[in-house]
Chain A
Amino acid sequence: MAGDQVKTIRSIAEKYDKDPARLMDVLLDIKEELGYFSEETIGVIAEAMNMPRVKVRDTLSFYAFFPRKKTGKHEVLVSKSVVEWMNGGADVVKAFEKELGVSCGETTSDRLFSLGYAECIGMSDQAPSAIVDGVPVGNLTPKDVKKVIDAAKKDAVSDLPGAKVAANLKKEGPVIFAPMENGAALDATLKMSPDEVIKTIDKSGLRGRGGAGFPTGRKWIFCRMNKSDTRYVVCNADEGEPGTFKDRVILREKPDLLFEGMTVAGYALGAAEGILYLRGEYAYMKPALEKALEERRKNNLLGADIKGKKGFNFDIRIQLGAGAYVCGEESALLESAEGKRGAPRERPPFPVEKGYMDKPTSVNNVETLCAAARVMEKGADWFSAIGTKDSTGTKLISVSGDCKEPGVYEIDYGTTIADFLKLCGAKKTKAVQIGGPSGRLLAPKDFGARISFEEYPTGGSFIVFDESRDVLKYMHQFMEFFTEESCGWCAPCRIGTSLLLVEFEKILDGRGTQADLDNLKHLGELVKTMSRCGLGQTAANPILTSMESFPELYKAILRPDEYIGRFEFDKAVKAGEEMAGRKSELEEAHS
């Protein structure tokens, strides 16, 4: 390794005080400089950080965005989420392959381009999409591919029309997307004691918007209850659930509302530091977010003695992720923010007791913190008057798939699925995937139900399938996603996701019997019951909920046989027959 590269690595390690907890930032910075991580590089990093090599490799090998091989000067990552495929993403991939002369996962011989896949990049409303040199480009067609490649060569990806990521904000509600003056929520907050602030949030009925729906006030009470010299506010902006993109819109349109919410939480919890954990796919937003933070520091909305309140010191730093869906799970997110692999923790202890750096920590979703700011500004009663009894306020829904108006809608909790389908212009709807792959597949008989914690909650993902769609094909894609994204810590999920995929494929291939279907269901229940975290506990949902909602689709492809083996003779000898240029001659078995 060249001496100047060693020097670069050492100076990056110095920049972060050789703190192992900042390893993610160290690796991200090194990637920026060197592009990839050879085994030799890992050795130098380990030495520079004064850490065992095996620990550096452990973190490094976990994330999708830390390549171990030299990649091209330019990188095209085509998003392969379900909606992308519904809108012709596969053709876009083919066009890239043809144009570049390589298969997905390869680098061109002139080392100019690497072509790869990314999981959902939060652009389902503008699918097919890709991240090109870190810039998201949407609404791609095979015809655009050449233009994209030419733009990358000229370092002008940002000038492409598809790179103007449209907000697609279709309906503004009273909570998140209503106008608010910077500092208004803080003014109201600082008139109260921290305990009164938490009481207000609790009284509003606000519940976590990430999907699980834990009451935010309760979370803050528990966090504040734990005696500690410091506490942390962590915002979960790892919006990785396929089909979700509401936080993308908040982060771009309303960063101040989010930072104000985090500052409110900082005051309520007695925290000095807030961390915004931003998924690696959203790195392109970081400069604008940093700018917004800087602006707030200038205006005494962050930093020391905020708004003139003596002793109220709070600041926010942005922690980038590096491509791992499981980091949306709050304890995995904290591990990642501490520079480790994103493996979920055992609970108890919960983050409110032992979170970031083992200090009491409240991890809240982007939308939750925005709502908290509005509750402080306008009052608990104003907020709880919107929505239903157990689901107060509004909810942002990201809609994509077969509807006329994909985008983000701020709706009152309690809106029925049928009404919502009308709102987004969905016709001849066969099924709705609510809450992403980890959520549920709903059939028309469920469309009378309300979007709410009482009935069907969602973190925000809402994918519409019309009558032309083979929904089981998409369920299979969801299963591929979980297999790809399982962290591997616990056996039921690590092994179970792969097995579910194989067993599901047997049925989809038309080689499944009733016994296979029963087995698949049993395996799904096992993975759901025995897995360690939410990823494993919901990984079988595409199979289990489609079985519940559409038994007829399974019935139609099941074979009446009692038993069909996994081994297929014809398939096994096919390659040989092709090479030999003739069919196998089978001898009769000896009797």
Chain B
Amino acid sequence: MSKDTLTITIDGKKIPATPGQTIMQAADAAGVYIPRLCWHKDLPAGGNCRVCTVKVNGRPQASCVFPAEEGQIIDNDTPDLKDFRCRLVEMHFVEGNHYCPSCEVSGECELQATAYRLGMITPTLPYMRPKHTVDASHPDVYIDRDRCILCGRCIRASQEVDGKSVFGFVGRGAKKKIAVNAEHNLGETDMTKADKAAEVCPTGAIVIKRQGYRIPYGQRKYDKKPIGSDIEQK
């Protein structure tokens, strides 16, 4: 074993990793899928959703940010974790207002697809019914905060990839929301529909206008295959 490779064990399976890799990166490369919502392949990890929590030598850690280290024994696909993840995804649903049947992102939504994959049938927790307004002030992109899961991808994309600061968080705890870098609304920012920030939303909270139904329901990405299939087919 040279020092530029190391071995971790996920659910009893030995997996190679390189120093500096996170557990998730190593797992992805080996075709082992760990469910996630806020992580995106082109962005730094945020660690906001915690759906990718695994047990590293018995301790819960978010695999998107936790470094792989030689000899780690990791639990991923266990009944307990699956159960918590499913409930956690459910929590995301009741925190916002998600109208899947009428949402133009249905079938391409990572929240919906992850819920299907984890076997969620319907929320059993009480709905919080927050009141949000839609920001349609921008000519090409609109924000529907009903569907925002506060994953922070748009913030990271705008900062790290677009070199702008179009988005940011505002408020604390349950009052936390996505805000824009303007006095009133998105229309006043320097956002364009070509921005990375316009395409990374996992749900339908940031949507590019006039593209909604180019692909009909039933023929969309996750209508055909469960989320994570691309990783497992490696």
CA gap between A349 and B146 in the complex, in Å: 34
Interface residue A21 (Cβ < 8 Å from any Cβ of B): no
A532 to B53, CA, bound (A): 10
What is the CA–CA distance of A348 and B91 in the complex, to the nearest angstrom? 27
B103-128 vs A, Cβ < 8 Å mask (1 yes, 0 no): 00000000000000000000011101
Selecting from B60-68, B131-139, B204-212, B220-228, the interface stretch reads B60-68
* Pair B88/A491 contact, Cβ less than 8 Å: yes
A491 to B94 alpha-carbon distance, docked (Å)? 12
Which residues on B sit within 8 Å (CB–CB) of A497?
Answer: 173-174
Q: Choose one: A494, A519, A523; the contact of B173 (CB below 8 Å).
A: A494
- Inter-chain contacts of A484 with B (CB < 8 A): 173
> Is B125 touching A526 in the complex (CB atoms < 8 A)?
no
* Binding stretch for chain B, among A91-99, A134-142, A498-506: A498-506
A211 at the interface (CB under 8 A from B): no
| B165–A488 CB distance below 8 A | no
The proximity string for B residues 168-180 relative to A, scoring 1 for CB distances below 8 Å and 0 otherwise, is 1111111110011
Residue of A at shortest CB range from B47? Answer: A346
> Residue of B at shortest CB range from A64?
B172
Interface window among A55-63, A388-396, A576-584: A55-63
Q: How large is the interface on B (under 10, 10 to 19, 20 to 34, 35 or more residues)?
A: 35 or more
- Alpha-carbon distance between A499 and B165 when the two chains are bound, in angstroms: 32
Query: Contact at B170–A61, with CB atoms within 8 Å?
Result: yes
Question: Do the beta carbons of B171 and A566 come within 8 Å of each other?
Answer: no
Compute how far the CA of A530 lies from the CA of B48 in the bound complex, rounded to whole angstroms.
Answer: 11
Asked if A54 and B179 make an inter-chain contact with CB atoms under 8 angstroms apart, the answer reads: yes
With A61-B170, A531-B50 known to touch, is A494 a contact of B126 (CB < 8 Å)? no
Contact check, B168 vs A486: say whether CB atoms are below 8 A apart.
Answer: no
| Bound CA span A483–B128, Å | 14
Q: What's the interface size class on A, roughly?
A: 35 or more
Is B74 on the interface with A (CB-CB < 8 A)? Answer: no
Cβ of B183 within 8 Å of any chain A Cβ, yes or no, is: yes
Contact code string B80-109 (vs A, CB < 8 Å = 1, else 0): 000010011001101100000000000000
Tell me the smallest distance from the CB of B197 to a CB of chain A, in Å: 12
Q: Which residues of A contact B9 (CB under 8 A)?
A: none
A532 CB contacts on chain B under 8 angstroms? 47, 50, 62
Residue in contact with A530 in the complex, picked from B60, B173, B174, B180, CB distance below 8 Å: B60
Q: For residues 521 through 565 of chain A, which have their beta carbon under 8 Å from a beta carbon of chain B?
A: 522-523, 525-526, 529-532
Q: Is A419 an interface residue (CB 8 A)?
A: no
How far is the CB of B94 from the nearest CB of chain A, in Å? Answer: 7
* CB atoms of A488 and B150 under 8 A apart: yes
Most buried by B among A53, A495, A519: A495
Residues on B with C-beta less than 8 A from A495 are: 91-92, 94-95, 128, 174
Residue of B nearest to A60 (CB): B170
Instruction: Report whether B91 and A54 are in contact in the complex, using a CB–CB cutoff of 8 Å.
Output: no
Q: Can you offer 16 A-B residue contacts whose CB atoms are under 8 A?
A: A54-B168, A61-B179, A324-B172, A341-B169, A346-B62, A348-B67, A484-B173, A490-B50, A492-B88, A494-B173, A495-B94, A495-B174, A499-B94, A522-B87, A529-B53, A532-B62
Q: A341-B169, A486-B174, A487-B172 given. 8 additional CB < 8 A pairs?
A: A40-B183, A57-B179, A490-B48, A490-B49, A491-B50, A491-B149, A529-B53, A530-B88
Interface residues of A, Cβ cutoff 8 Å to B? 39-40, 43, 52-55, 57-58, 61-62, 324, 341, 346, 348, 483-492, 494-499, 502-503, 519, 522-523, 525-526, 529-532, 566
The interface of chain B, by Cβ under 8 A from chain A, is: 45, 47-51, 53, 60, 62, 65-67, 84, 87-88, 91-92, 94-95, 124-126, 128, 149-150, 165-176, 179-183
